[in-house]
A and B are shown apart, each in its own frame.
Chain A
Amino acid sequence: MPKMRVGWITFTCSEDSTILFLELLNKHFFEWAEKIDFVYFNALKKSGNIYELKDVDVFFVEGAISNDDEKKKLEYIRSISKYVVAIGACACTGMPSAQRNFFDEKTKELIRARLEKFHLNENVLSVPQVIKVDDIVMGCPMNEDAFVKILNKYLALCGAQ
């Protein structure tokens, strides 16, 4: 049985869904290690240069997009992945990472120097605002049951179930 090739990346966020995924491993580690080849997952392994990665079955994307570097990586992820799933509130809606989009003018002025210094864009975007996604798992952090359901759906689709 072929293993499903899975990527997991975090952009601008608190990484709470990554933490929750590591919590899910308490119960599912041995089962998922049998069925999944984690080809990119920085919290679990040294993952190397993402631009050298090819042929990913499912890429889980956590976090919002706050600069051009993240946007470029996300577009690359789309180009090498059969399916892309947005994970958690920041990826699905932009919030709360996008809270600075709604700051008043005075506060925006206060943070401007830092935005410029670190090449952060004027507005933070959700993942679906940048690329087409195949599924979303909402929640802050992600809804665990919804995640497991979606993971199982793709395991079946990729013949790894």
Chain B
Amino acid sequence: MRGAVGVFMHKENFDITLESISKIEGHAGLDIHVRNGEVENVKLKISENMRFFKEAVRGKRFNGAHQIVSRICGTCSTAHLLGCIECVENVFGIPLSNQTRILKHLTMNGLQIRDHSMHLFFFCLPDLFGKDSVLDFKTDEEKELLHKALHVKEVGGTMGNMIAGRAVHPPYPTVGGYSKIPSKEDVNKLITMIKEERESAIEFVDLFYEWQKSLERKTKYVATKHTFYNFLEGELCDSNGVCIPDFAFTEHLHKVVIPYSQAEGFLYKGETYMVGALARMNIGRDTLHKDTKRDLGKYLSVFPSDNIYHNNLAQAIEIVHAMDHSLELLETTEFKEEKPPQIEPKEAGGTGIVEAPRGTLYYYLEFDSAGNIALADLVIPTAQNQVMMEKDIGLLVQQCLDQNIPRDQIEREIEILIRAYDPCMSCATHFLQVNWNNSGKNN
């Protein structure tokens, strides 16, 4: 009978429509057309409504724009804020103190811990247990696991609060420095917290390592790489080992217009590619903190990996690395009040690149002679991953159809796959710039 059902499935025509996808950041829907048992097309529709930030920052002053772009996205706000600040600092050639660099690293590390924890523990953990939500975790073991997860997550939020003033839209980072430095008491509190939660963070690495889920495919990966694994400094490299200067990044990107989505997609040198934790781990795992490498060797041997679900494992490893890197910085730095640098605005343009939790975030800003923004352009991680996400959904659905997997299970599998990419729809919109003619079709 199973064979007969298989033949029927193979010849079937049907459409899958997901009005909304749960447990991702923001709003998205999906249309899939299957004809004669073959996936004909996949449309991932980012349906988050546009807020036109690129237009809104025009005319805004160089030293205030970061607080506006921070509002592009709640979860990635710190990455937008620091990406914008770095761009301004690059354009005006502002020298940074070592202490400012350290505070920025700590801020980004806190963001990765908090944001990866949110994704792994609230969005993905239920998938590992075949449940819909952490709200369905009822047994003592499940509750204990959740308890640990919330404590790990809290390390990131507390770092955001103590180092940057808040975990979301942080007030302390400014162009050229921080307006407030952490107290000795807060530094000690953070050191204790990290030490207490590091073991739990490693347990989660093991949990995601043991999750036997696989979708292997070849693609290119792009991430910044440096002599030490971090989310702020370095040069852009691809998985073939080719590195390019920041300013040349967009020369290699090819925008892909996606008419049914409120966001655009990208190709890198004409090919699909992926950014994010998996890309960073594939490219930079040798540069992870020495303590992370010492304790996570077994898990690191998985990389380089073409299995998309290893993006979750890579995020879990990054949590441990961010803890180790932060611990070293906190234990070896005496924070002192510093005089902010003199800033001379000029008519100029330039770039700033950071590694947001979901991948490479690129800022390009042009200023007039008074230091007001004349032009803003951004390339955000989820837009860069969108083409690859659609391709993978098509591949997954085809594999499921070939194995006669029931439709409701296919829909669940699609959501798990999309979550593995950790897309951020709030970020993905607002930058689409397409000229439509009156009939609504692309020019």
Q: Which residues of A contact B (CB under 8 A)?
A: 10-20, 22-23, 25-27, 29-30, 33, 38, 42-47, 49, 66-67, 70, 96-97, 99-100, 103, 107, 110-111, 113-114, 116-118, 120, 140-141
Interface residues of B in 135-189 (CB under 8 A from A): 135, 143, 146-147, 150-151, 153-154, 157, 167-169
A117 and B132 contact, CB distance less than 8 A: no
Q: Is B107 an interface residue (CB 8 A)?
A: no
Determine the residue in chain B with the shortest Cβ distance to A26: B154
B49 and A26 contact, CB distance less than 8 A: no
A25 to B19, CA, bound (A): 27
A22 and B71 contact, CB distance less than 8 A: no
- Given known pairs A16-B71, A16-B168, A18-B74, the reply for A110 and B51 (CB within 8 Å) is no
Q: Is B23 an interface residue (CB 8 A)?
A: yes
At the interface with chain A, which of B86-94, B373-381, B433-441?
A: B433-441
Q: Is B196 an interface residue (CB 8 A)?
A: no
How many A-B residue pairs lie within 8 Å, measured between CB atoms? 127
A6 to B24, CA, bound (A): 20
- Given known pairs A16-B71, A113-B436, A118-B50, the reply for A44 and B122 (CB within 8 Å) is yes
Q: Is B68 an interface residue (CB 8 A)?
A: yes
- Given known pairs A118-B50, A141-B168, the reply for A45 and B132 (CB within 8 Å) is yes
A100 and B71 contact, CB distance less than 8 A: no
Q: Is B75 an interface residue (CB 8 A)?
A: yes
Contact of A15 among B25, B52, B56, B154 (CB under 8 A): B25
B74 and A141 contact, CB distance less than 8 A: yes
Q: Is B55 an interface residue (CB 8 A)?
A: yes
Q: Is B423 an interface residue (CB 8 A)?
A: no
Q: Is B201 an interface residue (CB 8 A)?
A: no
**In whole Å, how far is A137's beta carbon from the nearest beta carbon of chain B?**
14
A17 to B166, CA, bound (A): 13
**In whole Å, how far is A139's beta carbon from the nearest beta carbon of chain B?**
10
Give the top 6 A-B pairs by smallest Cβ distance, nearest first: A16-B74, A45-B133, A19-B74, A26-B154, A46-B22, A15-B74
B50 and A14 contact, CB distance less than 8 A: no
**In whole Å, how far is A123's beta carbon from the nearest beta carbon of chain B?**
13
List of B residues within 8 angstroms of A140 by Cβ:
71, 169
Residue of B25, B168, B426, B432 most packed against chain A (CB within 10 A): B168
A114 and B49 contact, CB distance less than 8 A: no
Determine the residue in chain B with the shortest Cβ distance to A124: B51
B51 and A96 contact, CB distance less than 8 A: yes
Q: Is B42 an interface residue (CB 8 A)?
A: no
- Given known pairs A12-B51, A99-B56, A107-B55, the reply for A42 and B20 (CB within 8 Å) is yes
Interface flags for B5-45 (1: CB within 8 Å of A; 0: not) read: 00000000000000110110111000000000000000000
Q: Is B386 an interface residue (CB 8 A)?
A: no
**In whole Å, how far is B168's beta carbon from the nearest beta carbon of chain A?**
5
**In whole Å, how far is B384's beta carbon from the nearest beta carbon of chain A?**
20
B52 and A111 contact, CB distance less than 8 A: yes
B435 and A111 contact, CB distance less than 8 A: no
